[in-house]
Structure 1
Amino acid sequence: TDKNEQNDGTSKPDISAEPKETKEKVTLYFGDKEAMYLVPEEREVVVGNKKLEEVVIAELIQGPRKADTFQTIPKEAELISVEVVDGVAYVNFNQEFQTKHWGGSAGEAMTLYSITNSLAKLPDIEQVQFLLEGKKQEAILGHADTTEPISPNWSMIKE
Structure 2
Amino acid sequence: MLSRRLAWKIGMGMLILSLTVLFTLAGCKNQETSEQPPNNQTKIAKSTDENEQKNGTSKPDISAEPKETKEKVTLYFGDKEAMYLVPEKREVVVGNNKLEEVVIAELIKGPRNADLFMTVPKEAKLISVEVVDGVAYVNFNKEFQTKHWGGSAGEAMTLYSITNSLVKLPDIDKVQFLLEGKKQESILGHADTTEPISPNWTMVKE
Question: Would you call these one fold, judging by a TM-score over 0.5?
Answer: yes
Deviation at 1:17? 6.0
Letter in 2 for 1:20: K
Partner of 2:149: 102
Q: CA deviation at 1:16?
A: 2.3
**2:190 aligns to what?**
143
Is 2:96 the partner of 1:33? no
Determine if the alignment matches structure 1 residue 127 to structure 2 residue 174: yes
Name the one with the larger helix percent.
2
2:69 equivalent to 1:22: yes
Partner Cα separation in structure 2 for residue 147 and residue 156 of structure 1: 22
Write the distance in 1 (CA, Å) between the matches of 2:61 and 2:134. Answer: 33
Cα deviation, 1:104-149, whole Å, max 9, x if unaligned, reads 0000000000000000000000000000000000000000000000
Moved over 6 A (4+): none
SS in 2 for 1:40: strand
Aligned residue for 2:114, secondary structure, equals: coil
CA gap of 1:137–1:102, structure 2 versus 1, over 3 A, is same
> How far off is 1:85 after superposition?
0.2
Shift of 1:62: 0.3
Larger Rg: 2
Secondary structure of the 2:182 match is coil
Q: What corresponds to 2:17 in structure 1?
A: none
1:118 aligns with 2:170: no
Letter in 1 for 2:86: V
**1:129 counterpart letter in structure 2:** Q
Q: What are the ranges of 5 or more consecutive residues in structure 2 without an aligned counterpart?
A: 1-50
Per residue, is there more strand in 1 or in 2?
1
Counterpart of 2:44 in structure 1 is none
Counterpart-to-counterpart distance in 1, 2:56 and 2:123: 46
TM-score by length of 1: 0.90
Q: CA RMSD in A?
A: 1.6
Report the secondary structure of 2:73's partner residue: strand
| Amino acid of the structure 1 residue aligned with 2:144 | F
Looking at both structures, which has the greater relative contact order when contacts are Cα pairs under 8 Å and sequence separation is at least 6?
1
2:88 is matched by which residue type in structure 1? E
Question: Measured at CA, do residues 4 and 42 of structure 1 come closer, stay the same or move farther in structure 2, by a change above 3 Å?
Answer: farther
